[in-house]
Structure 1
């Protein structure tokens, strides 16, 4: 089984029996790492240099590479995928499941954000070759193209393919086309569960319409004959975000995280 790392920023995993099982196992299983990040300042949506240094130390303590599956709370912490991919030392394609493009030009120079981490990877990671973002809201694709153009950064889109939410019904065709084109032999996969429909997950951002079956079919196709360098999962509910039935939301996410773990652990090619 692959190494599993959990970075818990808000304590939301306390409401999920499956995740608590991982936490208990971390005490005796060297392949499971659990980090309580609730006391690290300056991490919510934006991550400053001091916080990044602490988080990088956590990553390095696991083995120092990207190996395995990484869970890191809700979508406000999706920038963790940038910190994990910083460890990659070979050419790779980045596959992102997200209802948002996460490529906003920075509002504050030098501050890593959940809304701009993909742009940071494209700008600063010499090993990333191509990025494919799956399940993005159609109108957000147009907005990010305009934002990047105004910031004189539109050229990075030459390495980005968007599979929009409106194109998900034809995802099977994409699996036979765009996603199977020969790029690099290594992949890094980052999943924000807000790409999934509200029937599949309860998250803290507006959600898309991807189904779990579409997600797993895509993952299985991507894993064929390619090495997977690491897989990230975020998209929990925010603890301060009201749901009519928080117990039902937590039960939904608990079941999804267990299914995701079993699916990801069984993928061919995961290192």
Structure 2
């Protein structure tokens, strides 16, 4: 059983029976940790220093001695992957599933954001070797190249591989046939971060525009990674935002609940996860 951590920022997990089951188990199972973050100020999209201190205390209380699965609400909190990867103390690759590059130069120096956390990892984490971002919208790849160039930060892209959304669609039933996927078969340990907005709207309901990745493509990619690498940890975000309405919120919550449970079952059963 992996170490499981849930950091609930908005209360959205209240509508997901699977995650609520984890919450109930946390009372007696030392491998499951539940943190109510709804009263932590300074966290929505941007994470200020005081909030970071609180969140890091939570992470440190869990420890990082073994593989863990981390759930942390919707995509506005994807910067939590930066805080989790800060705990890694060995060379590793970061593999991210996201419809957005999350590498924007900061508007406010020193403020961690959901839109720029990967750049923060590349700039400041001495252990990260390469970053692979899977499912990014094609036009956003070109935009981030231009933004980083204007900010004199284009050199960090030398350590980034983008597998664009259009390239996903061309894989068919054998995505591993693409030469781009050779990067997934390298043997360096990796940390995996999944924002469910990379998935199609048939698979997940999120608060950001979504891509076209299928669950089967995601599962196959995770299996490829686990066959070749030590997995250090896996993050999962991309819930719906509670203040953004869906025509049928019950259906949206049921979709996300089912996906979270499928991912959990897959990840706990993958060979190669240590």
TM-score (norm 2): 0.96
Instruction: Tell me, in whole angstroms, the C-alpha distance in 1 between the residues paired with 2:243 and 2:48.
Output: 22
Instruction: Tell me, in whole angstroms, the C-alpha distance in 1 between the residues paired with 2:59 and 2:146.
Output: 35
RMSD of the alignment, in Å?
1.3
Does structure 2 retain, via aligned residues, the 8 Å contact 1:71–1:234? yes
Report the CA distance shift for 1:175/1:120 in structure 2 as closer, same or farther (over 3 A).
Answer: farther
Which range is displaced more, 166-175 or 95-104? 166-175
State the Cα deviation string for residues 133-153 of structure 1 (Å, max 9, x = none).
000001100100000000000
Counterpart secondary structure, 1:224: helix
1:192 maps to what in 2?
195
1:179 maps to what in 2?
181
* Equivalence map 1:40-189=2 (5 Å): 40-65=40-65, 67-171=67-171, 172-174=174-176, 177-181=179-183, 183-189=186-192
Aligned length: 271
Counterpart secondary structure, 2:84: helix
Does structure 2 retain, via aligned residues, the 8 Å contact 1:66–1:87? no
Instruction: Tell me, in whole angstroms, the C-alpha distance in 2 between the residues paired with 1:191 and 1:166.
Output: 19
Using the TM superposition, give the Cα deviation of residue 180 of structure 1 relative to its aligned residue in structure 2, in angstroms.
3.1
Instruction: Tell me, in whole angstroms, the C-alpha distance in 2 between the residues paired with 1:70 and 1:103.
Output: 21
1:203 maps to what in 2?
206
Using the TM superposition, give the Cα deviation of residue 66 of structure 1 relative to its aligned residue in structure 2, in angstroms.
6.8
Does structure 2 retain, via aligned residues, the 8 Å contact 1:104–1:147? yes
1:254 maps to what in 2?
257
Structure 2 spans left out of the alignment, 5+ residues? none
Using the TM superposition, give the Cα deviation of residue 175 of structure 1 relative to its aligned residue in structure 2, in angstroms.
5.7
State the Cα deviation string for residues 220-262 of structure 1 (Å, max 9, x = none).
0111131000000000000000100001100111111100100
Does structure 2 retain, via aligned residues, the 8 Å contact 1:91–1:184? no
2:219 paired residue among 213, 216, 221: 216
Does structure 1 retain, via aligned residues, the 8 Å contact 2:96–2:134? yes
Using the TM superposition, give the Cα deviation of residue 92 of structure 1 relative to its aligned residue in structure 2, in angstroms.
0.5
TM-score (norm 1): 0.97
Counterpart secondary structure, 2:146: helix
State the Cα deviation string for residues 107-154 of structure 1 (Å, max 9, x = none).
000100000000000000011111110000011001000000000000
Extract structure 1 runs of 4+ deviating beyond 2 A.
64-67, 169-185
Structure 1 spans left out of the alignment, 5+ residues? none
Does structure 1 retain, via aligned residues, the 8 Å contact 2:175–2:217? no
Counterpart secondary structure, 2:20: helix
Using the TM superposition, give the Cα deviation of residue 170 of structure 1 relative to its aligned residue in structure 2, in angstroms.
3.3
Does structure 1 retain, via aligned residues, the 8 Å contact 2:141–2:162? yes
